[in-house]
Amino acid sequence: MPELRLDLASCMAQDTEVEKVRHPAGIAVTALWAALAVAAPVVIAERQARGSGAPPAGRNTVVMAQITFRPSTLVVDKGSHVLFVNKDVAPHTVTAASLGIDSGVINPGKGFRLVVNQAVDYVCTIHPSMKAKLLLRA
């Protein structure tokens, strides 16, 4: 199965790492998609929300597509890294102003990583109807 290699060289955090991402459904990817994935690596901006922590073994991902956050509610452990990936044709943001969280503009094909240390209600400031939340597992 093809793997997409993420270029984290321009990350904002001091300690960055290169990750390999497999297609979550485990299905074959077309040759054209595989060629595009190799030719256009995704740059992930990494910022932390209030504190830091080691990344957990699993991955928590929120996809921005069709002017929605999917899933609209994600339950994670405290200190988990959540990856926001823009698979839409429009730019988006991940913003929780009261907590100081502001991804800046996330263009199509780009992403944003957040360390979650408390429950967060967030919105896309470009599309205010796009709202979602991160909850902490009890």
Give the DSSP letter string of 7-41: B-TT-SSSS----EE--TT-PPPPHHHHHHHHHSP
Are 80 and 115 in contact by the 8 Å Cβ rule? The answer is yes
Are 28 and 41 in contact by the 8 Å Cβ rule? The answer is no
Q: CA 60, 33, 91: angle at the middle one, nearest 5?
A: 55
Per-residue tens of pLDDT for the chain, all 138 residues: 333 333 333 333 333 333 334 444 444 433 333 333 433 333 334 443 333 333 333 479 999 999 999 999 999 999 999 999 999 999 999 999 999 999 999 999 999 999 999 999 999 999 999 999 999 998
- Closest of 57, 64, 50, 66 to residue 114, by C-alpha: 50
Close Cβ partners of 109 (under 8 Å, ≥ 6 residues apart):
40, 42, 86, 87
Domain spanning 4-136: CATH superfamily: Cupredoxins -  blue copper proteins (2.60.40.420)
Q: What is the pLDDT of residue 59?
A: 72
The reported pTM is 0.60
- Cα–Cα dist 90/88, whole Å: 5
Q: What is the pLDDT of residue 16?
A: 31
Q: What is the pLDDT of residue 9?
A: 34
